[in-house]
Structure 1
């Protein structure tokens, strides 16, 4: 038999005689043609229709260019964190491969022939020559540390960074560091992550505000994935890159930092371990040690300020003496390589793990590359018992005269045990590195290399702190801790001094070592170092480059110079007053007698403020056909103007100036009917005071 279906003929109610009566429902069989199907019930099409309407609505929103910025920014921040995490993992692997193919391979064969020593010397020069050409040709912003360029992009260019920067920076910095350039990899990965964030924001046509947030999110992700330090990444991006801890920007930054660290834990160099592991601090905050930590902070502040001056002075001198870029790259690169091969590669005392590694392969030059091997060595310096009580009956002494002997412990395989007679030899090996590392970093960057200054700051802090600890142990062993403790405190102190980001320095050193017990000395030394460095030079190591280029960038936290200045300190206490019946001619006369005032107050007979007359209000009257004698002050006064209290600060007053777009604000005390005018606050006076505060800071 053929296929049939029932077709409904009618069931619509028919109105008749004011009532309604439904016709009977009738059906008839209808034959279906081959390949046809019965009609689908309306409920079966509800879901597809709803989905179609949803897609149409979303498409319409995107066609109009209306993108929900905040939600999309958070989503893109997660993707940026993912991309930056993989970029950091790839970057570290790329540097390792370049090292194995260049000066690492040549260094392992130096014992065979002097030719290989020359090859090690030549590697930085050839790498800097290629990198200088690459960056000059494709992306000049990729030269140098990279972080100043990110700050400029956020402050001046709405966060826009060219997409090619990420690719060029990976290649340029990877070759510079991998071939022996004495720079770090943290600055490059910050610029790479920031470029990824900016590219994502530009691709989705986000607002400038949201693009800047994505740039900071990329920077946080880079720090997080490089150091396994998500908290430090968030603080660094907010404190250094954005210059603001605004709540609305924290969610994307935190998300990007977390996602990047998750990627790092799965594919990165450190995985679940801190950057410097196997350190154990039982207690390092005894009050008798605090003076030594504060003194170390003072020394670290001086070293940080000197590093900044050497870095940019070297660039100026190299530019003047070697104007041709390719000659400069070769000459400065050869100096870096020459110092690297001449300096002793191994310290006088090494750990057991370092001895095993040296038996398999010669150590790399300590002043070439990132130099974390030297930092690792300094952090594990452990003082052995220096004044032991003589043995009795063949038994070891039951106690030590040094009360801090057990305060610092490291893993037995990594600890570097120093007896008093070996401390001078260790000091002689460490002390020159304090001078050489900043100098070679400066030469590498001046020669056109690409790399960061964050790792050299950690290197400088570790070697300076360890040397300080050795001197302290030689001079006052009873009041000193192991040199490794001073090394980690010195790291935070120098980083705080160079970057002037105290919170970033404290958190990053804590997360790199995973040791909270040392936090008090870290905080104390970092604060002292930052103060000392700022007293010598107001600019951080990043902002100094911008200042030398003539770019003076003010960030959101600069406005806080006004939060301690009160309205009463700036307001005018003696001022003219207009009566309600004063006509326009009288107003003009008083205004000419007081040209410094942009607005004049109109007062009632009982001394209450009626309003203020602005210059534009008076001009409007004078330009009209109405006689000035017929216009009274009460007629043209701006009623209910905003007023400020003498106890408010200038930061609050700046907000009120913008709310009504006026040049003068009345200063009143009291409330309700008891309000009375006590002064006038001029916008020009507030700006002048702000300028004075900024100059005093400098």
Structure 2
């Protein structure tokens, strides 16, 4: 009996060490990709402010570089996003090591050169690949493949959004959808390591803001925002799937690159706010949300960005860019919340706080787009560094997901998983 206990204890120790290593590497990868991308995206975007013609050129350069890298360096295989992670959890499937540099480099180039998406999915797949590789290094770990993949994903998301709880919930709600003792053990260790990373590197929330208290009279407007966010998430999902199917009809891959670059370039030239992940636009609107005068031109610009972002994201992904709907959902949700608050205050004298609606809109849109309300709740609270809006965010996230599921029973992730 003593020997058996020692053997079991040794196995759990090995699993803990593997989870720690996966958490360390995934966190390092996520934080590195985040800061490198932010650095170059900032440089290129500032250049376009003085030379607007660059908005027409940068997407072509970025998408072309990705195309040739894929052709000559990454085995001529397209990155398929979250679908790759789903497939890797099945028996006999795995994520090869080249997926780490492939998603890291392609995600960086896509966003830095103006592709209208984000690095979140690139981070998720690359982090999952770390876990997939780890499971193959020792025979004992083979039966914990899914747990180690989820550990990588959870640590990557936790490090990227400064929220260990969001990392754990994302691994459960989106990837695993099953709870077990081994899952909780491995993923908790990995996000714990990610938390230590965040502490020692003193990572700040992406949208650190001083949120005000919310008021009960705003509840009906919160609910309406949740409904509108659910509708918009369906629009985003349909856009991605429809435009991808249209681009697949183009037989020559490089023609897709050229067409996509032209469309994205024109879109950016008309609305520079859509450049890259769009977080610079969100930050600017957060700063001015208290003082901005909701003139008609402002409302129309917000509405145009909300309507065009799904198209730009879809074209970016369809023409070979690396990314997903994470960042677009956050961007759309923030501007949707701001537009909703401005319209409510201007035309209905609602007296609501625009900044609060921006934050709640982020969570509502993300929850509906990936069908993960609790991930959205903790992720957005981590993004803004505040839990003041915890209960409104929870309610609105559930409302938006319910509306989206009623209108469209799948997300970009689950649709791809079943049909591609």
* Bin of the TM-score, shorter chain as denominator length: over 0.9
Partner of 1:197 in structure 2?
A: 131
8 Å contact from structure 2 (residues 130, 149) kept in 1: yes
> Per the alignment, do residues 206 and 312 of structure 1 end up closer, same or farther by CA in structure 2, a change over 3 Å counting?
farther
Displacement of 1:493: 0.8
Q: How does 1:226-625 map to 2 (within 5 A)?
A: 226-267=160-201, 271-281=202-212, 283-286=213-216, 288-320=217-249, 322-343=250-271, 365-383=272-290, 417-419=291-293, 422-477=294-349, 479-549=350-420
Give the Cα–Cα distance (whole angstroms) in 1 for the partners of residues 383 and 35 of structure 2: 20
Contact 2:337–2:358 (Cα < 8 Å) also in 1: yes
Q: Is the 8 A contact 1:183 1:444 kept in 2?
A: yes
Question: Cα 1:240–1:311, aligned 2, differ >3 Å: closer, same or farther?
Answer: same
Alignment of 1:50-199 (within 5 A): 69-96=11-38, 98-99=40-41, 103-104=44-45, 106-110=47-51, 117-137=52-72, 138=74, 143-144=79-80, 146-154=81-89, 156-157=90-91, 160-199=94-133
Name whichever of 424-433 and 328-337 sits farther off: 424-433
Pairwise CA distance, 1:74: 1.6
Q: Cα offset for 1:517?
A: 2.1
Q: CA deviation at 1:339?
A: 1.4
2: distance between equivalents of 1:432 and 1:226? 28
TM-score normalised by L of structure 1: 0.57
Distance in 1 separating the partners of 2:39 and 2:78: 21
Question: Do the aligned partners of residues 139 and 515 (structure 1) sit closer, same or farther apart at CA in structure 2, a change above 3 Å counting?
Answer: farther
Q: Are 2:45 and 2:275, in contact at CA under 8 Å, matched by a contact in 1?
A: no
Residue 300 (structure 1) shift? 0.6
Change (3 A) 1:533 1:446: same
* Contact 1:379–1:488 (8 Å) recurs in 2: no
Alpha carbons 2:333, 2:363 under 8 Å: kept? yes
* C-alpha distance in 2 between matches for 1:141 and 1:234: 30
How far did residue 108 of structure 1 move? 4.8
Q: Could you tell me how far apart the structure 1 residues matched to 2:82 and 2:163 are?
A: 18
Q: Distance in 2 between matches of 1:255 and 1:500?
A: 25
Query: Which 5+ residue runs of structure 1 have no aligned equivalent?
Result: 1-56, 111-116, 344-364, 384-416, 550-698
What is the count of residue pairs matched by the alignment? Answer: 414
How much does 1:223 deviate?
A: 0.6
Kindly indicate whether the alpha-carbon contact (under 8 Å) linking 2:154 and 2:171 is maintained by their aligned counterparts in 1: yes
- Pairwise CA distance, 1:143: 2.1
Instruction: Please state whether the residue corresponding to 2:412 is helix, strand or coil.
Output: coil
1:376-417 CA-to-partner distances (Å, cap 9, x unmatched) read 23334544xxxxxxxxxxxxxxxxxxxxxxxxxxxxxxxxx1
Q: Let me know the Cα RMSD of the aligned residues.
A: 2.3
SS in 2 for 1:517: coil
8 Å CA contact 1:162, 1:199 repeated in 2: yes
Whether contact under 8 Å (2:332, 2:365) holds in the other structure is yes
The offset of 1:228, in angstroms, is: 0.6
- Matched with 1:571 is none
| TM-score of the aligned structures, taking structure 2 as reference length | 0.92
Q: Which runs of 5+ in 2 are unaligned?
A: none
What is the CA–CA distance in structure 2 between the aligned matches of 1:297 and 1:92, rounded to whole Å?
Answer: 29
8 A Cα contact 2:128 2:150, kept in partner: yes
With a CA cutoff of 8 Å and minimum separation of 6, indicate the structure with the bigger relative contact order.
2
Pair 379,159 (structure 1): closer, same or farther in 2 beyond 3 Å = farther
1:517 & 1:249 partners in 2: Cα distance? Answer: 30
Deviation at 1:67?
11
Task: Give the 3 Å change call, closer, same or farther, for CA 462–252 of structure 1 in structure 2.
Answer: same
- 1:583-612 per-residue CA deviation (whole Å, 9 max, x = no partner) reads xxxxxxxxxxxxxxxxxxxxxxxxxxxxxx
Aligned partners of 2:325 and 2:369 also within 8 Å: no
Q: Per-residue deviation at 1:427?
A: 1.3
Distance in structure 1 (CA, Å) of the matches to 2:285 and 2:360: 11
CA distance in 2, matches of 1:289, 1:339: 35
**Do 1:224 and 1:258's aligned partners in 2 also have CA atoms closer than 8 Å?**
no
Secondary structure of residue in 2 paired with 1:279: coil
Is the 1:132–1:143 Cα contact (8 Å) retained in structure 2? no
**In the TM superposition, what is the alpha-carbon distance from 1:512 to its structure 2 partner?**
1.5
CA apart distance, 1:261: 3.0
- Give the Cα separation in 1 of the matches to 2:351 and 2:49: 39
C-alpha contact (below 8 Å) 2:86/2:417 kept by paired residues: no
**Structure 1's 158 and 472: CA in aligned 2 closer, same or farther, altered over 3 A?**
farther
Cα deviation, residue 263, structure 1: 1.9
Q: CA deviation at 1:159?
A: 6.1
Find the residue that maps to 1:274 and give its secondary structure: coil
Change (3 A) 1:238 1:105: same
Cα distance in 2 for residues equivalent to 1:274 and 1:467 = 23
Alignment deviations for residues 666-687 of structure 1 (CA, whole Å, 9 cap, x no partner): xxxxxxxxxxxxxxxxxxxxxx
Task: Name the structure where helix makes up a greater proportion of residues.
Answer: 2
Distance in 2 separating the partners of 1:158 and 1:231: 30
Residues 222 and 233 of structure 1 are in contact (CA less than 8 Å); yes or no, is this contact kept in structure 2? Answer: yes
- Between the aligned partners of 2:231 and 2:325, the Cα distance in structure 1 is 17
